[in-house]
Structure 1
Amino acid sequence: MTTTLTKSQDTTKVLLGCGAIAGPLYLVTGFAQAFTREGFDLTRHPFSFLSLGEGGWVQIANFVLSGLLFLAMAVGVRKALKGQRAGTWAPILLGIFALGMVAGGVFVADPAFGFPAGAPAGQPETLSWHGVLHGVAFFVAFPALIASCFVFARRFTGTWSRICVAAGVVSIAPIAFMGTDYATVVLYVVAVVSWLWVSAVAVKLRAEI
């Protein structure tokens, strides 16, 4: 019995460890490309555009791999919190977020705002089917991530609970800036906060086992 319990705990730690590395992996890989891909502008182009053009496979792989790692984390959260507060909705919401990331890599965005070279200067006149699905993936995944912040806020107490609430509030910020010149920059700030928050939660839960 003790050996079985230990193996289960070890498996859970491995799954949560996947989530611990997923956030930093996604951000480091994304920003590394953003600063090296010719014509890419962090003030105008979201990470999604890195999936386009020559070398786009790197960001596609980044989306898919990070999403699968977060999906593994969702399974780990389910195992770690089974029968506890947030044990049902936290892994479900994280799973939706993770699958949305995978879909965001499989279905690439349409070229726009001058990237890659030859793309329309603004939004494309019509959206491709994969561009539409990429947008759907984002608008399903990100709300799930935001909701998970508040679910975990109920799971934790004290400082960690406040951190979760703060992460959720910050993640809503892009709504206020939609359509402005600052929208993309704000989105990057939120991405850094949100993705690192998820990984921090994985580290926190792993330490509790």
Structure 2
Amino acid sequence: MTHLAHSSARPLSRPRLLLACGVMAGPMYVTVALAQAFTREGFDLARHPWSFLANGDLGWIQTLNFVLTALAVIAAAAGLRHALARGRGGRWAPILVGTFGASMIGAALFPADPAMGFPAGTPEGPGAITLSGMLHLAVGGVGFLCASAACYVIASRYARDGRKGWAWYSRATGTLFLGSFVGIASGGGVAWANLAFIAGILALWTWMSLMSLNLSRSA
């Protein structure tokens, strides 16, 4: 019986292991970020982007969160290259997802500027804009646009394969995330824009986890 159980179990292939990183990336990032958001003095989810958590004495936690999540996303991009090797999206989906992962490393290297009273002791208001802050916004913008584009590219692949539900879900996620990014980029720090962006982030990471899990079943 033991021999039969071992022989019938499906071994984890390299692509499946890589896509498993895509399944875990979002839950890891969101859990660590929210744990800090609810415990760090002065942080307000309605006012402060999660990038602000990389500032202050405990900023290293969010910096490490960026880097580890980035590596998981880049690994998932390599898994997508195998899972989508033949057919539409096989070239661009891994590139776009991988660029999104690389942008998170850039966000770790160039932290956002302290502002709006965070970390504790920072004056209220937008504060001074440094080169690091400008580069953070630039690499983040590139990464967010690539993440949205990846949703549409993978939606196209699902549509070609006749999987209309997944295609619509992917398009909806890309649209929601892109809209929330535009909102926070133009919202001037207002609460609705920040909360909408959090919703967009949660939607994107949920999609990446479910999409990676779905594709790993055929990898």
- With the shorter chain as reference, the TM-score category is over 0.9
Match for residue 85 of structure 2? 82
TM-score (norm 2): 0.88
1:74 Cα offset (Å) = 0.4
From 149, 158, 161, the equivalent of 2:164 is 158
Q: Counterparts of 1:92 and 1:199 in 2: how far apart (Å)?
A: 18
Matches within 5 A, 1:1-209: 10-125=13-128, 127-156=129-158, 157-174=163-180, 175-176=182-183, 178-179=186-187, 180-209=190-219
- 3-state DSSP of counterpart to 1:116: coil
1:79 Cα offset (Å) = 1.5
- 3-state DSSP of counterpart to 1:173: helix
The 1:37/1:176 distance shift into structure 2, 3 A limit, reads: closer
Asked if the contact 1:111–1:124 (Cα under 8 Å) also holds between the matched residues in 2, the reply is yes
Q: Counterparts of 1:111 and 1:168 in 2: how far apart (Å)?
A: 29
What do residues 139-194 of structure 1 show as CA deviations (whole Å, max 9, x unaligned)? 10000000011101111121111100110111122224632431111110100001
Q: Counterparts of 2:147 and 2:123 in 1: how far apart (Å)?
A: 31
Match for residue 3 of structure 1? none
1:30 Cα offset (Å) = 0.5
Q: Which runs of 4+ in 1 moved over 4 A?
A: none
TM-score (norm 1): 0.92
The 1:134/1:176 distance shift into structure 2, 3 A limit, reads: closer
Asked if the contact 1:64–1:101 (Cα under 8 Å) also holds between the matched residues in 2, the reply is yes
Q: Counterparts of 2:51 and 2:36 in 1: how far apart (Å)?
A: 11
What do residues 21-40 of structure 1 show as CA deviations (whole Å, max 9, x unaligned)? 00110011111110011110
Among all aligned residue pairs of Structure 1 and Structure 2, give the percentage whose two residues are the same amino acid. Answer: 40
Count of matched residue positions in the alignment of Structure 1 and Structure 2: 202
- Structure 2 stretches of 5 or more lacking a match? 1-9
* Residue type of the alignment partner of 1:187: F
